[in-house]
Amino acid sequence: MIQDSAKMGTDLPAMVTETPGPRSRALAAELALSEAPNASAISAGDQPVFWDETHGANVWDVDGNRYVDLTAGFCVAIAGHSNPRIVAAIQAQAARMMHSQGGANPNALRVELTRRLARLAPGNLSVSHLVNTGGEAIEMALKTARLATGKHMVLAFQGGFHGKLLGALSVTAQNYYRAPFMDVITGTAHVPYAYCYRCPFAKSYPACDVFCADFVRYTLEMPDSGIADVGAIILEPAQGHGGWIVPPPEFLPKIRKICDDHGLLLIADEIINGFGRTGRMFAVEHSGVVPDILVVGKGLASGFPIAATIMRPELARAWGAMQHTSTFMGNPLGCAASLASLDEIEERHLVERSAEIGRRMMAALRDMQPQHPTMGDVRGLGSMVGIEFVLDRQSKAPAPAVGQRVVAELLRQGVMATNYGGTYHNVLKMSPPLVITDEQLEYALQQIDEAIGTVERDL
């Protein structure tokens, strides 16, 4: 048990064993015997760090090592790990009522949360459907689009990730997840995203005039494109799993115009982007675009599993009573946690803090970039900041092994930056809790500089 004085979560790292430590390794061996191999990377030989306790921007593992976290548990702990206000709200609600049956017996907090989301969401997005995970919320969005438009196909983007449930998987682009189920996931066409660093059209921004968006229009209007009966376009305003890819500011407005011209619904997946991560409450606000359906999750409750599909009222009316429910939808614990988290985000000005964190991170990384030839691209939106590693900046050849070694070196120094991946498996994807202190952030950035230098000297 961590001492009370450390529960603010504002400490610098303190390492007492190697990492992963002996207890983490022993637990990994035990878990490999009792858990399905698809639930983690242990079956692929990975040795994960097992978490034991979390507070603020600190994580303690089962071996007693303390880390500064640059992942927020994959963009979840917006208001900090184990935020006291959220913990208290969950405890109070659990003592009063842990469950009310999703479809048949709503609870009063569902009213409060759906009203709150209507106030926060852009434009006229005022009707929410509360679920437990982002994948479920995507399923709801796709079903809504089909009911409301009567059309069956969806246009999605290469590099996009929207979940692993069958409906969500149909619009997810990653072949590793899709390939075993291709015979049962249909109705989606994928087009190139605005990945400027690796433009699939070999163009350069801004001279390209955001040609990738124009290609979407071409795909829809070309008589023999092989794509028909499209009812919606789904995208991430900034791609997450694809590698923290931030499109040019003109991209989303162009896609919105294409949707308007063709009578398509625009679905914005902000499961990763939402609730301040990008320096705005929602990432679409950077471009002034209002989607028809907004999907949120992860940071909604800063740690408790809950997600939502927020839509225009007329789209919601396409549904019939009890046509899409689940036992735990809108559960009282999730609603209580969400309301407390939103209070923290607004009252502590964490959206503005996210923008400041991002400015500091981008400035520091760009300052160190000229000294590190493997830092091919530094990009970000708010506190969603990434480094794409390459063998050299001229060829841009992906260097996944370099980044993996940087992650391991950081872990040894007590900086958890284990959200590593992207389309070419070479992007360090950082998203710290928005309560991270300046001291913690400065320490982490210094360690990134040193870790990259250490790895580069051994190349």
CA 289 → CA 244, 298, 309, 340, 355, distances in Å?
20, 22, 17, 28, 19
Residue 95's pLDDT band (cuts 50, 70, 90): very high
CATH number at 300 reads 3.40.640.10
227/355 same-domain check: no
Kindly state whether residues 336 and 365 are assigned to the same domain: no
Compute CA 445 distance to the chain's CA centroid, rounded to the nearest angstrom.
21
User: Looking at the structure, do residues 312 and 385 belong to the same domain, yes or no?
Assistant: no
Q: Give the chain's domain count.
A: 2
User: Domain of 302?
Assistant: 84-347
> DSSP letter at 306?
-
Q: Are residues 163 and 218 in the same domain?
A: yes
Residue 172 has pLDDT above 90, yes or no: yes
Beta bridge partners of 380: 385
The pLDDT-based confidence of 223 (bands split at 50, 70, 90) is: very high
Q: Give the model's confidence band at 270: pLDDT under 50 very low, under 70 low, under 90 confident, else very high.
A: very high
Helices marked H in 172-247 — which ranges?
Answer: 175-178, 211-221
Structure confidence by residue, pLDDT tens digits, 351-378? 999 999 999 999 999 999 999 999 999 9
Q: Assess whether 61 and 46 both reside in one domain.
A: yes
When pLDDT is cut at 50, 70 and 90, the band that residue 184 belongs to is confident
Angstrom distance (rounded) from CA 123 to CA 325: 26
CB 299 within 8 A of CB 276: yes
| Last residue in a domain, options 347, 366, 400 | 347
Residues 368 and 340 occupy one common structural domain: no
* 15-21 mean pLDDT: 97
Q: Can you read off the two tokens belonging to residue 352? A: 């503005």
**Backbone dihedral angles phi then psi of residue 67, each to the nearest 5 degrees:** -120, 155
31 pLDDT above the threshold of 70: yes
The two structure tokens encoding residue 277: 């991560």
Query: Sheet holding 293-296: strands in order across?
Result: 127-131, 307-311, 293-296, 265-270, 230-235, 153-157, 188-191
**Angle, to 10 degrees, between the axis of helix 332-347 and the axis of helix 108-120?**
40
- DSSP alpha helix (H) spans, 175-235: 175-178, 211-221
Mean pLDDT of 198-222: 97
For the chain, the first-to-last Cα distance in angstroms comes to 41
pLDDT at 342: 98
Q: Would you say 436 and 57 are in contact if contact means Cβ atoms under 8 Å apart?
A: yes
C-alpha span between 224 and 208 (Å, rounded) = 25
Contacts of 61 (CB under 8 A, 6+ apart): 19, 20, 21, 23, 24, 49, 50, 51, 52, 67
Average pLDDT for residues 194-216, to the nearest whole number? 98
| Confidence band for 429, pLDDT divided at 50, 70 and 90 | very high
Given pLDDT bands bounded at 50, 70 and 90, which one contains residue 343? very high
Average pLDDT, the chain: 96
CATH number, domain of 425, equals: 3.90.1150.10
Q: Pairing mode, if any, of strands 427-430 and 420-421?
A: antiparallel
The pLDDT of residue 424 is above 60: yes
The CA-based dihedral angle spanning residues 385, 391, 395, 398, taken in that order and rounded to the nearest 10 degrees: -60
Provide the 10 A C-beta neighbour count for residue 223: 5
Q: How far apart are CA 451 and CA 111, in angstroms?
A: 48
Same domain for 143 and 214, yes or no, is: yes
Q: What is the DSSP code (8-state) at residue 446?
A: H
Do 288 and 437 fall into the same domain?
no
- Characterize the bridge pairing of strands 153-157 and 230-235: parallel
pLDDT band at 6 (very low <50, low <70, confident <90, very high): low
Residue 1 has pLDDT above 60, yes or no: no
**Residue where a domain terminates, one of 314, 331, 347:** 347
Boundary residue ending a domain (326, 347, 368): 347
Q: Same domain for 207 and 234?
A: yes
pLDDT of residue 5: 54
pLDDT exceeding 70 applies to what percent of the chain? 99
Strands 415-416 and 384-389: unpaired
pLDDT at 183: 86
Residue 388 has φ and ψ, to the nearest 5°, of -100, 120
pLDDT for residue 81 is more than 80: yes
Q: Does 439 lie in the same domain as 388?
A: yes
Please say if the pLDDT value at position 182 is more than 60.
Answer: yes
Beta strands in 212-350, from DSSP E residues, in sequence order: 230-235, 265-270, 293-296, 307-311
Rounded distance between C-alpha atoms, residue 397 and residue 180, angstroms: 29
Question: Residues 146-162: pLDDT tens digits?
Answer: 999 999 999 999 999 99
**For the residues 39-47, what does the mean pLDDT come to?**
91
Q: Are residues 232 and 216 in the same domain?
A: yes
- Give every CB contact of residue 411 below 8 A, 6+ residues apart in sequence: 19, 49, 67, 417, 418
**H runs (alpha helix) in 194-287:** 211-221, 251-262
Count the Cβ atoms, other than its own, within 10 Å of residue 260.
10
Angle at 295 between CA 121 and CA 243, to 5 degrees: 115
Q: Is 225 in the same domain as 341? A: yes
Handedness of CA 449, 453, 454, 456 (dihedral sign): positive
Q: How many CA atoms lie within 13 A of 356 on its CB side?
A: 13
pTM for this predicted structure: 0.97
**Per-residue confidence (pLDDT) for residue 347, from 0 to 100:** 98
Residue 38 in this model has a pLDDT that exceeds 90 = yes
Local structure of residue 256 (DSSP, 8 states): H
Identity of the amino acid at 143 = K
Residue 2 pLDDT exceeds 70: no
Q: How open is the CA angle 396-400-401, to the nearest 5 degrees?
A: 120
pLDDT in tens, 305-315: 999 999 999 99
Mean pLDDT, rounded, for 124-136:
97
Cα 283 from Cα 278, distance rounded (Å): 6
